[in-house]
Structure 1
Amino acid sequence: MSLILRRPQLRGVLVSIIRNTSSTSNNDTPNNVAPNNDAPNFDMPNPFEKERVQCILCKSGVPVDYKNVRLLSQFQSAYTGRIYGRHITGLCKKQQEIVEGEIIKAQVAGLMGGYLKHTDFLDDPVLYDLDNPIRPHRF
């Protein structure tokens, strides 16, 4: 074999022989294979697939606006005016950023207080549990 590779006139012939044999080896499967009729003909959803978790705003499709003070006050502390974090509210990153921006916009416009929640909104239903955060957090 070493003699064949040393001769330049035989090197091209040897390469073409190797290419022809490798291309025919891939096509050795018979074309007369019968299709499997036992296979089901419908698409079945995976029964073990977990349901995609969505935040409450994405799930309900409620648009967040700075004029909707009642909704925005749900994400703000009643006594300190602090905006709750994602690990407490359970919002996705996109919605949390939108809510924070709209709260600041509502405070600048004078629709929301900066430190205290309006007393009309204190009895609103709670969207999340403050004592048990949805996501773990280091604090």
Structure 2
Amino acid sequence: MLRLLMRRYLGPACIHTSCVRQHGIRHSSSAENNTLPSISDDMPIEMKNPFEKEKQQCILCKMQITPDFKNVKLLSQFVSPYTGQIYGRHITGLCRHKQQQVEKEIRKAQSAGFMAIALKELVFMRDPKLFDPDRPFRPHKY
């Protein structure tokens, strides 16, 4: 069966001694001239999927940062400067766990008096942006 397949793909000359010259196939000995090369030599190699996308991580998980209510500078990045509302996950790009932690710590900092409730402190207005609120990670329809 295998010999017929090899003849179909390589032609009738591959079973004879001229195999090396025509197709580069080597036989182990002259007594085994009618044998074919092993199929394991022609198996595909293992490799990583080149089309697979990298796993997205939120910025806090990537930098291994845990939010704390005393770190007002970090927490103020997730609050709107005009309304004082906490940005949602679709804007901040945080994972669900870190977003819940940030919201909890912001509320704790506001109740402790470290952060303003209605708007953002002017001191933190010039801080570098972790994300752009005008261009959310997952925009919605309207």
TM over 0.5: yes
Q: Which has the higher contact order (CA 8 A, sep 6+)?
A: 1
Letter in 1 for 2:94: L
1:107 to 107, 110, 115: 110
Structure 1 vs Structure 2 CA RMSD: 1.8
Q: 2:40 aligns with which of 19, 36, 41?
A: 36
* Matched-pair identity in %: 58
1:78-107 deviation per Cα after TM superposition (whole angstroms, max 9, x unaligned): 121100111111111111111000100111
Q: Match for residue 57 of structure 2?
A: 54
> TM-score normalised to the size of structure 2?
0.66
Structure 2 residues without counterparts, runs of 5 or longer? 1-37
Selected match of 2:87 from 84, 87, 90: 84
Describe the superposition over 1:97-125 as per-residue Cα deviations: whole angstroms up to 9, x where unpaired: 11000100111111111112121101001
- Mapped to 2, the partners of 1:94 and 1:137 lie a distance apart of 21
Aligned with 1:36: secondary structure?
A: helix
Shift of 1:35: 7.1
Task: Name the CA distance, whole Å, in 2 between partners of 1:48 and 1:87.
Answer: 25
Tell me the distance in 1 between the aligned counterparts of 2:74 and 2:135: 21
Any gaps of 5 or more consecutive residues in structure 1? 1-33
2:120 alignment partner in structure 1: 117
Say yes or no: does 1:66 pair with 2:72.
no
Amino acid at match of 1:105: K
Residue correspondence of structure 1 range 124-139 to structure 2 within 5 A: 124-139=127-142
Helix, strand or coil at the partner of 2:91: helix
- TM-score by structure 1 length? 0.68
How many matched pairs? Answer: 105
**Where in structure 1 do 4 or more consecutive aligned residues deviate above 6 Å?**
none
Q: Which amino acid counterpart does residue 117 of structure 2 have in structure 1?
A: G
